[in-house]
Amino acid sequence: MKRTPPTPLFGRDEPQLGLFDEPHDGAPPPAEEMQRELESIGARLPEGVRFGTSSWTFPGWAGLVYHRRYPDQRAFLRESLEEYAKHPLMRTVGVDRSYYTPVPKDDLALYANQLPEGFLCAMKVWQRITMPVYPRHPRYGPDAGKRNPDFLDADLFASEVNASVRDSFSRCMGPWILQMAPSPSPIDPSWFLTKLSAFFRAAPRDFPFAVELRDRRLLTPEYARALREHDAAHVFNYWSRMPSLADQMRVEGLLGGSLLVVRLLLPQGAKYADLRDAYAPFDKLVAVQPVMRQDVKRLVSAALERDMEAYVLVNNKAEGSSPLTVRALAEVLVR
């Protein structure tokens, strides 16, 4: 029997991306049944656990997260956060666009007006502050391959990044994520820790900090001690060139403080562009990662035992569809 297709995401004159016209393996159940199931799972989630996704503007999530019709793509980009935040399992979201340039105040105010009380976002710090060496890429012009003089500049962070968020987004702000971009040349771990500690001493502490490494050579016991000293969190990241979540858990002292942040991005050895092309439009699970899921359960369970708040942010490239991975992780946790 042919299934009734979900409500189109965009108006009639716009392309209806990511919609199911025919049933297939892995297709979601009817909307009403799925909503009841999600609400049941959400009601059993511990209060201190915040599941969410890396960004939210994916038309392929129609029927999974989005059910209303938007007049066009522009309206979807501006208004969809409100519907996202009503999903029974979504208690946070990653604001990833801030990595490329600080988010303007007007956009922050627009986001804040769409979010309910108690919904907190994890926002990336501008790459100009978190990039130790500019990549060897034409977009960086004459700076390509050179040391970045603004790396971990606390004054630049305070004036160009933190101030607008403090003024326009405080009610909705969770942790800052310092995503340390991989360097085209080796980084001395001692130099890195000196810079990181100086940043923490000088930067405003309106919101908590979490550090995400993209270089396994920087993942040391000394790094863990520096985080504890400055009350910052480590981002346990599932990423192609970092140790597994289980191996990161084995670093003494890395899980501590009041905050756990987990980001699920890319399986070991995978390339972002390859999975983006293979998994689009991100409406179904393509490559389930059972070990990753169990590691997340162990991390979150350990955090709850320590009365830590836990943020778990999922990228589409982890398994194929962030909302479906979030649901699977929530089911594992409440089972």
Q: What CATH homologous superfamily does 31-334 map to? A: Protein of unknown function UPF0759 (3.20.20.410)
Q: What is the pLDDT of residue 27?
A: 52
Confidence (pLDDT) at 158: 98
User: 67: burial class by Cβ within 10 Å (0-12, 13-18, 19+)?
Assistant: middle
User: CA 7, 2, 11 angle in degrees (round to 5)?
Assistant: 20
* pLDDT for the residue numbered 143: 87
Angle at 199 (CA atoms; ends 196, 200), nearest 5 degrees = 90
Is 287:319 a contact under the CB 8 Å cutoff? yes
| Nearby residues of 225 by Cβ (< 8 Å), 6 or more positions away | 253
The rounded distance, in Å, linking the Cα atoms of 263 and 265 is: 6
pLDDT score for 204: 98
CA angle 321, 307, 169 (to 5 degrees): 60
Nearest to 212 by CA among 183, 182, 185, 191: 182
pTM of the entire predicted model: 0.91
**What is the model's pLDDT at position 91?**
98
Would you give per-residue pLDDT tens digits along the chain (335 residues)?
A: 333 344 446 554 333 333 233 334 455 567 889 899 999 999 999 999 999 999 999 999 999 999 999 999 999 999 999 999 999 999 999 999 999 999 999 999 999 999 999 999 999 999 999 999 988 888 889 988 889 999 999 999 999 999 999 999 999 999 999 999 888 888 999 999 999 999 999 999 999 999 999 999 999 999 999 999 999 999 999 999 999 999 999 999 999 899 999 999 999 999 999 999 999 999 999 999 999 999 999 999 999 999 999 999 999 999 999 999 999 999 999 98
Give the pLDDT of residue 23: 37
Q: Which residue has the tokens 């569809």?
A: 321
pLDDT of residue 29: 60
